[in-house]
Amino acid sequence: QVQLVESGGGVVQPGRSLRLSCAASGFTFSGYAMHWVRQAPGKGLEWVAVIAYDGSNIYYADSVKGRFTISRDNSKNTLYLQMNSLRVEDTALYYCAKSGEVAWLYDYWGQGTLVTVPS
Amino acid sequence: DRVMTQSPDSLAVSLGERATINCRSSQSVLYSSDNKNYLAWYQQKPGQPPKLLISWASSRESGVPDRFSGSGSGTDFALTISSLQAEDVAVYYCHQYYSIPLTFGQGTKVEIK
């Protein structure tokens, strides 16, 4: 069965960096686009970034463009999110999500990893 | 950007009664080349990640009870729970996957009256 396990979250001071990872199993990782979606405490869902199955196409939300970098290692079945210049408003539960047959529709989500940037 | 607006923000319905959530997109999500609406519905229960219920505006995912149905086209959509069960208490989100940036509605909280 599909499993997505995020890690790397924690408490980080404003302006610092953090790298999230998402270990995937139960499917052919290299065959699907992957996403990061976040959810601030008690708030709704916000799409962050997507990377194509082979890394050839990458898109970001304006709120993170220039600060966050999505990447993947298909040999390790792992998705990454490098987060630089973190802000208080980046505080959220970060989910990795697998696309389905349509690259921009997510069919499976991990449990998330919490990133806290205190004020 | 396609702004997704849900109504109402919250909804309290008696067990066995119908619940309807509306979602409006600021621009059409109907793709003319394939005549499909790029609109999905997700259910999120407390402490859990979202779960995909419906894609293409009205296509139920495998294993989703048939009391859940989606309707609409273009810019106006609805999710209906025909007979609310206790396990349906959750927040429901509409989501457009027509264009980047991918966007969600603000969510509708469904509770038992």
**Statement: residue A53 has pLDDT above 90:** yes
Q: Report CB contact under 8 Å: B101, A105.
A: no
pLDDT digits (tens, 9 = 90+) for A4-18: 999 999 999 999 999
- Predicted confidence at residue A98, as pLDDT, reads 96
Gyration radius (Cα) of chain B, Å:
13
Mean pLDDT computed over A95-105: 91
Q: Report CB contact under 8 Å: B101, A62.
A: yes
**Statement: residue A102 has pLDDT above 90:** no
Least CA distance to A93: which residue of chain B?
A: B49
Mean pLDDT computed over A106-118: 96
The helix/strand/coil state of B26 is coil
Instruction: State the DSSP code for B88.
Output: G
B43 touches chain A (CB under 8 A): no
DSSP string, A86-111: --GGG-EEEEEEEE-SSTTSEEEE--
Mean pLDDT computed over A25-43: 97
Q: Report CB contact under 8 Å: A45, B97.
A: no
Interface of B with A in 80-109 (CB under 8 A): 93, 95, 97, 100-107
Taking Cα atoms as reference points, which of A97, A79, A66 lies closest to residue B97? A97
Which residues of A fall within a CB distance of 8 Å from B106?
Answer: 44
pLDDT digits (tens, 9 = 90+) for B27-78: 999 999 999 999 999 999 999 999 999 999 999 999 999 999 999 999 999 9
pLDDT digits (tens, 9 = 90+) for A41-52: 999 999 999 999
Q: Report CB contact under 8 Å: A45, B52.
A: no
- Predicted confidence at residue A101, as pLDDT, reads 83
Least CA distance to A42: which residue of chain B?
A: B46
Pick B52's closest partner by Cβ from A47, A95, A107: A107
Which single residue is written with the structure tokens 């402490």? B47
Confidence of residue A76 (pLDDT cuts 50, 70, 90): very high
**Statement: residue A118 has pLDDT above 90:** yes
Query: Exposure pattern of B69-80 as b/e (b: 16+ CB <10 Å)?
Result: bbebeebebbbe
- Give the count of Cβ contacts less than 8 A between chain A and B: 49
Distance CA B70, CA B53 (A): 9
CA torsion B99→A76→B42→A39, rounded to 10°? -80
Give the end-to-end CA distance of chain A in Å, rounded to a whole number.
40
